[in-house]
Structure 1
Amino acid sequence: MPQTPADPWWKSAVVYQIYPSSFQDADGDGLGDLPGVIDRLDYLHTLGVDVVWLSPVYPSPLADNGYDISDYLGIHPRFGTLADWDRLRDGLHERGMRLVMDLVVNHTSDEHPWFADSRASRDSPYRDFYFWRPGRGDGPPNNWGSVFSGPAWTRDDATGEYFLHLFTRNQPDLNWENPKVREQVHDIARWWLDRGADGFRMDVVNFVSKAPGLPDGPVPPGSGYGLFAEYSINGPRLHEFLGELRDAAFAGRDVLTVGEMPGVSVEQARAHTDPVDGEVSMVFQFEHVDLDHGPGGKFDRVPLDLRRLKGSLDRWQLGLADRGWNSLYLNNHDQPRAVSRFGDDGEHRTASAKTLATTLHMMKGTPYVYQGEELGMANAGFSDISEYRDVETHNHYLHAMAAGADEARVMAGIARMSRDNARTPMQWDASPNAGFTTGTPWIAVNPDHTEVNAEAALADPDSVFHHYRRLIALRKEHPVVVHGAYTPLLPEHPALYAYTRTLDGTVLTVLANWSADTVAVDAAPAVAGPRPELLLGTHPAAEEGVFAPLRPWESRVLLSR
């Protein structure tokens, strides 16, 4: 189907996220870098992805692995130089791929010159670039909590006031109520686009508008700190702020923009991604990856009920069917590995990795592949807190230990859900450091790299890698994958994930067994269309035909014209 103004290129694209510290080290210092990414561009081209999203590579003190930026217009020396970035841009463009940068503008580093000036004096011209408030009694201005545990305020001795940080104390929140802040953000975005970037993933961008007056949350003062989404995100000026950014930086440019928006609703996402007056191409929502969080939060994981996951993703598919656009993901730098979390990283690792991908990639929206996902990379398997590098993980451990929690239980939760599970080095081959570095890696390599690695996957035509490659190719070959209407099937089935996509008489049916048991196919034959053919499967074709019972973690994609 030819592209139209209503159907821009990114609707048929597949995005590959690179976490630069862990992708490829070219100089042997144990840290990934831009020359290393350049060395692996042919691998990405073989996979068939259209876009590379580069997690932050800006100058940073690295309090939160680069999401604390001290200079928005440079490259951290550990990653290379602006000349290296130019070579990466050119290498991608020469291969027909595009480059998306990470725009982190809810907060800066506390070492950014704006903040250094802001904290120097209450009369600083940059004072209002951030949220400074006097304390209340012996404590902070309100009872807001940080995403990374503890209060969201830190007292600064230089002026005796508190500054707001919804993440670490090294990440002070920018005050977007100040038009000069917004102008600076517009300038930054234009600078990178003028240099050849093809868009942005915008970190926690719905945090930039907060409730006027920064009121207390419903927890009574003095009883603790809480995360109050009704006050700290999706504020009353969000559409205004993002609309200004769109008009000032994105308008008239052929770019992809995705807003990371924790706590966003389907209705809000429809408005943000409306092709007529929305502000971004698509949003990252978190509803589906929060379903296994227990009463104690993300580190208190509970078993996932597939019916709840289907209900969530179906709501988003149907809710954005006629207005707006979905992003599709199970993995990223902030989530544990999907094959360990949702699949089976033991006996059925290969099949479950393929089935998770099949289920996701055949939906309507733009799929995102996180580095190593296409290999079936699993959780890190760390057992000691000293092996972790993530600030959120260490903060959780310290707060839990101080509260008297059982250490074995705390460590079990961390092993399942820590962000470092996604941040171990990319597994290129079976050598001691997985081909990632000739030095000592900044974080340990997963021991399973001797079996799970890119070299082995490329050589095996039945590997997870080649299954991803085929899924990506289907998106290019069959317009129904991009444009077809989505209809869920069997929403209450506890193990079978099934749906159809339909377009102009073509019916694509997805049947996916999310379990280690054999599962019968019930309702699919009635809706799959006449004489469906097996377009792609995780297992050899069944003798009984395309509607034979699904073997453990088997999935099939059927096509009827």
Structure 2
Amino acid sequence: MTDPGTRPADDWWRSAVVYQVYPRSFADADGDGTGDLNGIRARLPYLADLGVDALWISPWYPSPLLDGGYDVSDYRGINPDFGTLADADALIAEAHALGLRILIDLVPNHCSWEHPWFKAALAAGKGSPERDLFWFRDGVDGRPPTNWPATFGGGAWQQIDDGQWYLHMFDISQPDWNWDHPKVIEEFDSILRFWFDRGIDGFRIDVADSMAKDATLPDVPVKDGRPTQDKYVGNPFYDQPGVHTIHQRWRAIADEYAGTPEGPRVFVAEAWLSPPERLAQYVRPNELHSAFNFDALRASWDAKDQREVIDRSTGSLWAVGAPATWVLSNHDTIRHRTRYGRSLQDALEGAGVVATDLELGLRRARAAALLELALPGGAYIYQGDELGLPEVEDLPEEVLDDPVWERSGHTNRGRDGCRVPIPWSGAEPPYGFGPGEGQPWLPQPADWAPLTAEAQVGDPNSHHSLYTAALRIRRDHAELGEGRLTWDEDAPADVLSFTRGSFRCVTNFGAAPTPLPPYDELLLTSTAIVDGQLPPDATAWLTF
């Protein structure tokens, strides 16, 4: 394998640390309570100082925001709540000037019911060419065409006034594109080039395993009395062979830009697929560049489970020449500080329904950050991870915005708890999120003053300083980033220890302190070392 230190700059993505910005909740420049592009621009120096390599910006397109922007009504514009195309151009240029690359979201499985093509399909009627761009079908004896379930709850088909049904694998407001139609294929070719030509460095592909459907529309098996949402092999709407043809086409378009100053454009896949061998098919040399390792996000806080996930993920990805891409939290999952403060069976449950030890969660979150950033490959940081933010589990019901809340019949509070706006400064809400005292679109907790960026930047003991130090060491240490690891097989059963050249990472998952192995220099620890012992729920970086 090529030494990571000798790889060309075009391969930056193989070891990049990427910071996810959820634009509604990052920073508000105009004081309307909603984050915007000029707010992001104002905070670019903060991100550069943090030490990340790139930003991934969640959907910034025009949208009714019925699913946080993942219901796109115009793929070539900017949501007026966030700014303008000129603001986006300025953001891209200013980020590049600071050495930061820009990835944006592509949402190819579905659009908004406000998209002009879907509105035209509704108006055109049965059998029209306009309806062929989506999945319109007649029902069967008054029932939907299939028993397919929607991810956000309920069935995946919605009946309209003329009796036909349209497919929406997510919310009712998000009709699925028909990727068997050449016009859809050509439209997304054009969308890719539109943004590549404006200078973005790549796309994160939303539900990258979902665009292709089995056109025979078979039912899915019933499990525990309900149609299954399992992504079993042969599922008619997930991981169909046709998705690979789409990705290969996109890879060819991205590679067209190899001769530009920014270098070839890149893709990262969101595909919740297990085992890792299935996910690896998405990052073969002629497909997408990388994919999130969600098995790591879902792994329990346990040395054995963590090692198994690391081994299977890296092994399957290295077999196809792709790097691993690690992630602890994102806009769809409970923040890992909260998740790690729970038992395994409760870790991914909904807000407010299980007991959580946030101090335990914070210790583990610090340890997990160093473990993640020491692993081979790239890593993603969700906004607020670097501040140690917990999930907000007591949002008033009247402010809940996630469609999961309604689609579940008010039984699942959804994902709003990880989307609460970032606290930047001050002693009370809105914590500098925007100018003035106006409250943001989701309320912030009254006890977040110690978690603001202002309170943490420069404090050597803060969560932010841990991330800053780790990213500096990672950037300066040639043996981190892409590469391989070697397990230290003499480590205790509850300890994960691996080496990468002269670098060693040790994480104590056990209940008792453990002696550190011999070392030359203690680079960084998530918790203070006591008498040469690494405390429980802690990680140390060493050289030897």
TM-score normalised to structure 1 length: 0.86
Shift of 1:269: 2.9
Correspondence for 2:387: 375
Correspondence for 1:339: 337
Residues in 1 aligned to 2:240 and 2:9: alpha-carbon distance in whole angstroms = 29
SS of 1:140's equivalent? coil
Q: Which moved further from structure 2: 349-358 or 458-467?
A: 349-358
Residues in 2 aligned to 1:558 and 1:60: alpha-carbon distance in whole angstroms = 48
Shift of 1:489: 5.2
Q: Which moved further from structure 2: 456-465 or 382-391?
A: 382-391
Cα deviations by residue, 1:35-85 (Å, 9 ceiling, x for unpaired): 111111111111011101100010001110100000000011100111111
Residues in 1 aligned to 2:492 and 2:368: alpha-carbon distance in whole angstroms = 17
Shift of 1:476: 1.7
Q: Does 1:442 align with 2:437?
A: no
The answer to whether the 8 Å contact 2:67/2:403 transfers is: yes
Q: Does 1:227 align with 2:239?
A: no
Shift of 1:32: 0.5
Give unpaired runs (5+ residues) of structure 2: 259-263, 342-355
Correspondence for 1:263: 273
SS of 1:320's equivalent? helix
The answer to whether the 8 Å contact 2:297/2:329 transfers is: no
Residues in 2 aligned to 1:309 and 1:341: alpha-carbon distance in whole angstroms = 15
Cα deviations by residue, 1:163-203 (Å, 9 ceiling, x for unpaired): 11100011011111112111100100110000111100010
The answer to whether the 8 Å contact 1:269/1:324 transfers is: no
Cα deviations by residue, 1:7-46 (Å, 9 ceiling, x for unpaired): 8111232100000000111111111111111111111111
Cα deviations by residue, 1:260-282 (Å, 9 ceiling, x for unpaired): 112254223333223xx331110
Correspondence for 2:261: none
SS of 1:101's equivalent? strand
Residues in 2 aligned to 1:70 and 1:491: alpha-carbon distance in whole angstroms = 56
Quick one: which of 421, 424, 428 aligns to 2:424?
428
Q: Which runs of 4+ in 1 moved over 6 A?
A: 490-494
Correspondence for 1:278: 286
Summarize the Cα distance change of 1:350–1:324 in structure 2 as closer, same or farther, 3 Å threshold: same
Matches within 5 A, 1:296-307: 307=304
Summarize the Cα distance change of 1:468–1:255 in structure 2 as closer, same or farther, 3 Å threshold: same
Shift of 1:345: 5.8
Residues in 1 aligned to 2:277 and 2:536: alpha-carbon distance in whole angstroms = 36
- Report the residue type matching 2:390 in the other structure: A
Cα deviations by residue, 1:308-350 (Å, 9 ceiling, x for unpaired): 3442233112322352121111110001111111158633565
Q: Which moved further from structure 2: 261-270 or 358-367?
A: 261-270
SS of 1:485's equivalent? coil
The answer to whether the 8 Å contact 2:491/2:497 transfers is: no
Q: Which moved further from structure 2: 2-11 or 121-130?
A: 2-11
Residues in 1 aligned to 2:164 and 2:11: alpha-carbon distance in whole angstroms = 48
Correspondence for 2:75: 72
Correspondence for 2:480: 481
- Report the residue type matching 2:419 in the other structure: R
Matches within 5 A, 1:339-418: 339-343=337-341, 346-348=358-360, 350-382=362-394, 384-398=396-410, 400=411, 414=413, 418=414
Cα deviations by residue, 1:244-298 (Å, 9 ceiling, x for unpaired): 1211344443223101112254223333223xx3311101243344457xxxxxx
Correspondence for 1:298: none
Summarize the Cα distance change of 1:426–1:115 in structure 2 as closer, same or farther, 3 Å threshold: same
Summarize the Cα distance change of 1:321–1:533 in structure 2 as closer, same or farther, 3 Å threshold: farther
Summarize the Cα distance change of 1:471–1:518 in structure 2 as closer, same or farther, 3 Å threshold: same
Residues in 1 aligned to 2:145 and 2:298: alpha-carbon distance in whole angstroms = 29
Residues in 2 aligned to 1:426 and 1:186: alpha-carbon distance in whole angstroms = 35
The answer to whether the 8 Å contact 2:273/2:279 transfers is: no
Summarize the Cα distance change of 1:460–1:223 in structure 2 as closer, same or farther, 3 Å threshold: closer
Summarize the Cα distance change of 1:354–1:206 in structure 2 as closer, same or farther, 3 Å threshold: same
Matches within 5 A, 1:172-321: 172-219=175-222, 224-229=226-231, 230-253=235-258, 254-274=264-284, 277-290=285-298, 307-321=304-318
Residues in 1 aligned to 2:472 and 2:298: alpha-carbon distance in whole angstroms = 30
The answer to whether the 8 Å contact 1:100/1:197 transfers is: yes
Q: Does 1:50 align with 2:53?
A: yes
Residues in 1 aligned to 2:403 and 2:249: alpha-carbon distance in whole angstroms = 33
Residues in 2 aligned to 1:446 and 1:184: alpha-carbon distance in whole angstroms = 43
Residues in 2 aligned to 1:474 and 1:285: alpha-carbon distance in whole angstroms = 23
SS of 1:448's equivalent? coil
Quick one: which of 534, 552, 558 aligns to 2:522?
534
Residues in 2 aligned to 1:83 and 1:491: alpha-carbon distance in whole angstroms = 57
SS of 1:17's equivalent? strand
Correspondence for 1:296: none
The answer to whether the 8 Å contact 2:109/2:211 transfers is: yes
Residues in 1 aligned to 2:440 and 2:84: alpha-carbon distance in whole angstroms = 21
- Report the residue type matching 1:172 in the other structure: P
SS of 1:59's equivalent? coil
The answer to whether the 8 Å contact 2:15/2:379 transfers is: no
Shift of 1:513: 2.6
- Report the residue type matching 1:555 in the other structure: T
Residues in 1 aligned to 2:405 and 2:486: alpha-carbon distance in whole angstroms = 39
Shift of 1:386: 2.6
SS of 1:466's equivalent? helix
The answer to whether the 8 Å contact 2:449/2:455 transfers is: no
Equivalent pairs counted in the alignment come to 514
Residues in 2 aligned to 1:534 and 1:379: alpha-carbon distance in whole angstroms = 32
Summarize the Cα distance change of 1:136–1:458 in structure 2 as closer, same or farther, 3 Å threshold: same
- Report the residue type matching 1:556 in the other structure: A
Q: Which moved further from structure 2: 281-290 or 141-150?
A: 281-290
The answer to whether the 8 Å contact 2:104/2:202 transfers is: yes
SS of 1:481's equivalent? coil
Residues in 2 aligned to 1:490 and 1:137: alpha-carbon distance in whole angstroms = 62
Q: Does 1:25 align with 2:28?
A: yes
The answer to whether the 8 Å contact 2:66/2:402 transfers is: no
Residues in 1 aligned to 2:46 and 2:143: alpha-carbon distance in whole angstroms = 53
The answer to whether the 8 Å contact 1:310/1:491 transfers is: no
Residues in 2 aligned to 1:285 and 1:195: alpha-carbon distance in whole angstroms = 29
Quick one: which of 494, 497, 500 aligns to 2:498?
500
Summarize the Cα distance change of 1:475–1:204 in structure 2 as closer, same or farther, 3 Å threshold: same
Residues in 1 aligned to 2:9 and 2:99: alpha-carbon distance in whole angstroms = 22
Residues in 2 aligned to 1:444 and 1:389: alpha-carbon distance in whole angstroms = 12
Shift of 1:474: 2.2
Correspondence for 2:350: none
Cα deviations by residue, 1:130-151 (Å, 9 ceiling, x for unpaired): 1111101121001100000110
Correspondence for 2:353: none
SS of 1:52's equivalent? strand
SS of 1:163's equivalent? strand
SS of 1:8's equivalent? helix
Shift of 1:124: 3.1
